[in-house]
Structure 1
Amino acid sequence: MSTPGSQAASPRRPLDGIVVADFSRVLAGPYATMLLADMGATVIKVESPNGDDTRLWMPPERDGIGTYYLSVNRNKSSIALDLADEQDLRTAYAILDRADVFVENFKPGGLARFGLDAESVRERWPRLIHATITGFGTAGGASMPGYDLLVQGMSGFMHVTGHPDADPQRAGVAIFDVVTGLHTAVGILAALLERQGSGDGLGQHVALNLLSSALSGLVNQTTGYAAAGDNPQRLGNDHPSLYPYGPFPTADQDLIICVGNDHQFARLVQTLGVPELAADPRFESVLLRNQNRDELRVLMVEALAAGTADHWFQRLQAVGVPCAPILDIAQGVQRADDLGLEPVVPVGAPGTRQVPLIRNPVSFSRTPVAYPKAPPHLDEDAADVRAWLEATPARRHDADRAADPEAVR
C-alpha cells in the first residue's frame, strides 16, 4: 500500500502523487479536498477526537452518520489527533512533512499555539501549499464565526433573494461554503502549477474567505453596484436584466421560460400563438421587454393558459426555447438519470463498504475521476496512515531537517 486508502485497481487520475493534509471541518474545506481526492490526490483527513461536527448533523442520516458529512468526505483517510497532545502533534507534523498541500479552516490565530500558523508553516515547510479558509478574513472580521448563513446575510445575497413584498430569503443550501470550496480547489491547483514551474520548488499561502467568495459569486449583482452604482433589490423569480426569464403559470403548474435574445423571443411567441408580439414596439428588444415586463407578463400568462406545463415544455423545447419544469430534489436526480448523466455512483471498492453518492461533475477523457473509498468512519484509517508515515520519507528541505533533526520521518 503506497498511500493510505489507495486501491490497487484504481485507474490513473490527474492528481496522483499529490498528498493533501486536510485539517478542515464542516463544508467549504472538505468540499474542496473531496474534489481533489476524486481526482487522485491522497487526502488525509485529520480530525479531532470528537470528529467533524457534520458527522452528527442529522436528519437525514445513513447508518447513523449524517448525510451532510457523507456528501463531502469520500475518498479520504481519517485519523483522529488531539493537537494539544505532544505525540499527536508530532504525528500531525509528520503528515505535513510528507504533504504537498495543507488545508485548514480554523479561526484566525487558532493554530498558532500548535506551530501551524501561516508564518510557522512557511518557515518549517517552505514547499507546502497552505490553504486557509476563514469567514470574514483576518483583519476586522477575524473574530467573526464563518457560518454560511451569516455570509448570505452580510453579502447582500438574501437582500436580493425572495419576493419584493416578503422577507429576504436564504438559499436552500450553504451556497457560499460550496462556492468557497470551489475557489479553494482552484487556488490550490494554481499554486501547485506555480510551484512546479517556478524552479525553486517553494509553496505559498493561499487565503480565502467566505464573504469575498460570496461577493465574487454574486457576479452581475455586485458588479452592477461596483461598476454602475446600482443597488439591486428583490425581484422574486424575475431576472434584473432579462424578460421573460423565470417561472410562468400554465393550465396546471408553473414552467420556467428563459429568453436571452430576440431570436428566442420570436420563437417563443410564435409557438404560443401570438407571433405579433415579436414586432410589438413594446417588446422588440431586450431593453424594451424589461421596461414593459408587466404588460408582457399578462399576455404570456393568457397564452400559456391554453396548455399544460408538459405540453408547452415539449413544444418549446422542440423549437429551441430554453424552458424547464420545477422539480423536487428526488425528481431532479431522476431527471438527470433519465438524461444519461448517471448522477448517483456507488462510492467504495467492490467488496468493501459502499455508499451511493452524487457524482463528481468533472469528466476527463483520459484520467477519469474514481470513487474507491467511502467516507471514512472517525479514525478508521489511523493504522494505515501510521504505516504510511513509517514507510514514506519526509519531503522537507535540508534546511528544515537541520533545524529540527528530531522530527518524525
Structure 2
Amino acid sequence: MPGPLQTLKILDFSTLLPGPYATMLLADMGADVLRVEAPDRLDLTRVMPPHDDGVSTAHTFLNRGKRSLGLNLKDPASVEVVKRLVAEYDVVVEQFRPGVMDRLGIGYEALKAINPRLIYCAITGYGQTGPYKDRAGHDINYLALAGVSSHCGRQNSGPPPMGIQIADVAGGSHHAVMGILAAVVHRQQTGEGQFVDISMTDAAFALNAMAGAACLAGGVEQKPEGALLNGGSFYDYYRTSDGRWLSVGSLEPQFLARLCEVIGKPELKSYGLSQNPEHQQTLKSAIAEAIASRPLNEWCNIFADQDACVEPVLTISEAAEHPQLKARGMVIEVPKGDGRTQRQIGHPIKFEKTGCESAYVGKVLGADNGEILD
C-alpha cells in the first residue's frame, strides 16, 4: 500500500543527524524526498564508521528512500536549479545557521516568492532568534542549556553522556516532522505555506515535561537521584551476578507487591509509595541484594510470567532479536540495489490503511543528477 504522504515532495538541504532523520521518517511514510548536497563538502555521516561494503551504515540508514542531487550552492547555476525545482515541491528542510540560505539566494523569502504554498522548515541548535542563534553547539550542549542534564545521572558522578542523541532526534527530528505535518494541514485549510522554526534547545527544554512542570509551577528543582523517576526511589537499574542489569519499574502497588514476593521480601511492599527516604533506600538495598544473587538469564526466566514491570537491559543486537520487536517489524531488510539487502531499524509508526516502506538504502552523492538535471 502507498504511504500516507505519497503526495508530498520535499527538498532536503540538511546534514548530519537531525534533518536527515526527520526526512527519512517522511520518506518512509511515502514522501518523495530529494536530498541536495555539496559535492565538495561531504556530510560526515557519509564517511562515519562502521562501513558496509565500503559505505557508512549511518548514511545508508539516514538517507534510505531518498534521491540524491549534488549541487554547489555557491554556483549561480545551481541556485537556478533549486529555484526551478522548488516550484514543484511542497516542503524545504534545511539545517544551516540562520541567514546562510538567504546569503545563497535560496532563503525562505526568495523561495516563497516562487512558491507561496511552500512550507520551509529550518532546524538549528538555538532557533532563528535570541542571543544564541548564531552559536555553534551539539546535542550535549543543547541538553545542558535546556536543564535536562541537571537532573540526570548520579549525585556523585554527574550527568551522563547519553548513548543516543536526545536533543537531535527526540528534539530536532521529531519536532520537525510534527511541525511540517501541522503546516501541511494548515495549508490544506488555507492554501498558505509558512516558515517552521525548530530549535533543538527549545525541544529539549520541552522534554523536561514533569520535572519542568514541578519546577516552573511548583517551585521544586529536581536534582539527580532526587525524584521518583530519576534514581531517587527504587525505580532504577540493578546489577545481576553476571554483571548484566535489570530494570525495575514496579511503581504501582500491585506490581511492587509482585516484585517483593518474587525476591522474598513481601514485608517491604508498603515502602514503595513511602515518601520517607530511608524506606526507599531500604527497599533499594533489598532489591539490589536479591538481584545480585542470580545471573540475568535466571531473572528473565523468573519474571517471564510475572506482571511486575521488570525487564532486562538488552544490547541493541539482543533487542533486535527480541520476540516483541520482531513481531512489530522493527528490524527490516532494505534493498541495496544490487539484489542484496541491509538490516536496518524499521519505521516505528504502524498505519492500518497505509503502510511504510523503505525502498532502498541511502544512495551515492549525486546518484540522480542526470535524471533530475535532464
State TM-score, norm by structure 1: 0.83
Question: Which residue does 1:194 correspond to in 2?
Answer: 186
Note the C-alpha offset of 1:93.
1.0
Given the alignment, which residue of 124, 142, 148 partners 1:151? Answer: 142
Given the alignment, which residue of 337, 344, 348 partners 1:357? Answer: 344
Residue 43 of structure 1: SS of its match in structure 2? strand
Q: 1:238 to 1:63 in 2, by over 3 A?
A: farther
In the alignment, structure 1 residue 315 sits paired with structure 2 residue 302? yes
Distance (Å, rounded) in 2 between the aligned partners of 1:299 and 1:337: 30
Given the alignment, which residue of 318, 325, 336 partners 1:331? Answer: 318
- In 2, are the aligned partners of 1:337 and 1:343 still within 8 Å (CA)? no
Question: Which residue does 1:293 correspond to in 2?
Answer: 280
Question: Which residue does 1:258 correspond to in 2?
Answer: 249
Q: Residue deviations 1:240-297, cap 9 Å, x none?
A: 4873211123444432111121121112112222222224xxx1x6243666211212
Distance (Å, rounded) in 2 between the aligned partners of 1:303 and 1:353: 47
- Quick check: 87-96 or 251-260, which moved more? 251-260
Given the alignment, which residue of 272, 277, 283 partners 2:268? Answer: 277
Q: Residue deviations 1:202-258, cap 9 Å, x none?
A: 111111111001111222233322222222222299724873211123444432111
Question: Which residue does 1:407 correspond to in 2?
Answer: none
- In 1, are the aligned partners of 2:139 and 2:167 still within 8 Å (CA)? yes
Given the alignment, which residue of 87, 90, 109 partners 1:100? Answer: 90
In the alignment, structure 1 residue 176 sits paired with structure 2 residue 167? yes
Residue 87 of structure 1: SS of its match in structure 2? helix
Given the alignment, which residue of 17, 20, 38 partners 2:7? Answer: 17
Note the C-alpha offset of 1:77.
0.4
Question: Which residue does 1:134 correspond to in 2?
Answer: 124
Q: 1:340 to 1:237 in 2, by over 3 A?
A: farther
Given the alignment, which residue of 4, 7, 16 partners 1:26? Answer: 16
Given the alignment, which residue of 27, 31, 35 partners 1:41? Answer: 31
Q: 1:345 to 1:250 in 2, by over 3 A?
A: closer
Residue 228 of structure 1: SS of its match in structure 2? coil
* Matched pairs, number: 371
Q: 1:52 to 1:194 in 2, by over 3 A?
A: farther
Q: Residue deviations 1:22-74, cap 9 Å, x none?
A: 11111111111111101111000011123542344422122232222223110
Q: 1:18 to 1:51 in 2, by over 3 A?
A: farther
Distance (Å, rounded) in 2 between the aligned partners of 1:43 and 1:120: 21
- In 2, are the aligned partners of 1:43 and 1:75 still within 8 Å (CA)? yes
Distance (Å, rounded) in 1 between the aligned partners of 2:339 and 2:240: 49
Q: Residue deviations 1:75-132, cap 9 Å, x none?
A: 0000011122121111111111110011111110111123322333333321001111
- In 2, are the aligned partners of 1:161 and 1:170 still within 8 Å (CA)? no
- In 1, are the aligned partners of 2:255 and 2:307 still within 8 Å (CA)? yes
Question: Which residue does 2:115 correspond to in 1?
Answer: 125
Residue 275 of structure 2: SS of its match in structure 1? helix
Q: Which amino acid counterpart does residue 152 of structure 1 have in structure 2?
A: L
Give % identity.
29
Note the C-alpha offset of 1:371.
1.5
State TM-score, norm by structure 2: 0.91
Distance (Å, rounded) in 2 between the aligned partners of 1:82 and 1:307: 60
Q: Which amino acid counterpart does residue 194 of structure 1 have in structure 2?
A: H
Distance (Å, rounded) in 2 between the aligned partners of 1:267 and 1:337: 23
Distance (Å, rounded) in 2 between the aligned partners of 1:128 and 1:161: 40
Larger radius of gyration: 1
Given the alignment, which residue of 359, 364, 374 partners 1:377? Answer: 364
Residue 59 of structure 1: SS of its match in structure 2? coil
Distance (Å, rounded) in 2 between the aligned partners of 1:373 and 1:305: 45
Q: Residue deviations 1:295-322, cap 9 Å, x none?
A: 2122223444554433333333422001
Q: 1:113 to 1:336 in 2, by over 3 A?
A: farther
- In 2, are the aligned partners of 1:26 and 1:53 still within 8 Å (CA)? yes
- In 2, are the aligned partners of 1:237 and 1:247 still within 8 Å (CA)? no
